[in-house]
Amino acid sequence: MSRAGLALRAARLLLTRAVADTTPDYDIASSTYDEAFTALMGPNSTAMLDLVGIAPGMDVIELACGTGHLSEQIRIRQQGLGSLRVIEKSPGMLAVAKAKMETLGQASKDVSWQQGDMLEFLKAQATNSADAIVCGWAICYSKPSQLFREARRVLRPGGRIGIIESRADALASLRKAFEDVVADEPTLLTAMVRVALPKDAETVARWMRKGELRVINQYEGEQRWPVATAEEAVEWVERSGAGAGFRDSFDMSREDDVRGKLTEALRKQASRPGGLTLLHPFVVVVAETTPEPAAPVQPGVTKANGIQ
């Protein structure tokens, strides 16, 4: 069937609000995520965290903690002081993050964990209650403009927020293979994966400015995934969570058929000049709230050494 048939199928699914849940894929990937994803992308996440400037005594919120790579790094930088509030939708990922934090001993105290939606979690936080907010690889699953407005409210004056996220053209070869499979047989598609991946760093910066945040750093990077064959690519998708929403968007009563068709589509790409390449471009943006202005000194009043 043509891509017009696929477009029609997708339109019907959108009209019926058949949106895929990414949680099952992240639950399945939770035990292999660090090996398949964090081992390569973790340093990029940590670089974002360094720009936020986490320090001892800070109160920090982490949105969508995954397996806790950044949670662990935040507590190390806090040196056991301050607090960390964590939200994660996937119970499988959350369990791994908690177990990882327990190995930090004293630094694992003053950490609170919650499972659920990160925007709703942020809405429930008190105004001016955090010095920093970070989110790694998950802003796409929320409503960015709303989330940044809430972040502005929750952050204290001078507080910072750091985001690292995949760019919209990330893993283009993989996305093309998925499209080829469902274009050939649209009935395999049972729900749509809806994500708000940014076109570039400036897109995220624009979202932040709409939320009345001042952007202080933004850049883009790119990571090449070390997969050489179609079989390796499909295995990596399942182990890393890169195809999040896959299980809930396809007719998984035909799971073996879907996997076979995807592998064949990737084999065709691998046979072409240049072979199979999975590139993962990403964006990093850090912003801050405007510090409160100093209280004006009344005319004729001089302050020195605490004496008026």
The pLDDT averaged over each successive group of 10 residues in the chain (308 residues) is 41 44 89 95 97 97 97 94 96 96 80 97 98 96 95 98 96 85 78 83 97 97 91 90 73 83 90 87 96 58 37
Residue 215 confidence (pLDDT): 98
pLDDT given for residue 52 in this prediction: 98
pLDDT value, residue 144? 95
User: How far apart, in whole angstroms, are the C-alpha atoms of residue 167 and residue 144?
Assistant: 14
Q: What is the pLDDT of residue 74?
A: 96
- pLDDT value, residue 25: 86
Q: With contact defined as beta carbons under 8 Å apart, do 132 and 22 qualify? A: no
Domains of the chain: 3-288 (3.40.50.150)
Torsion over CA of 225, 231, 237 and 239, rounded to 10 degrees? Answer: -100
- Residue for token pair 């801050």: 288
For position 184, what pLDDT does the model report?
80
- Cβ-contact 66, 135 below 8 angstroms: no
Q: What is the pLDDT of residue 108?
A: 72
Separation of alpha carbons 287 and 161, rounded Å: 5
**Among candidate residues 167, 113, 115, 174, the one with its CA nearest the CA of residue 139:** 167
Question: Sign of the CA dihedral 183, 184, 187, 189?
Answer: negative
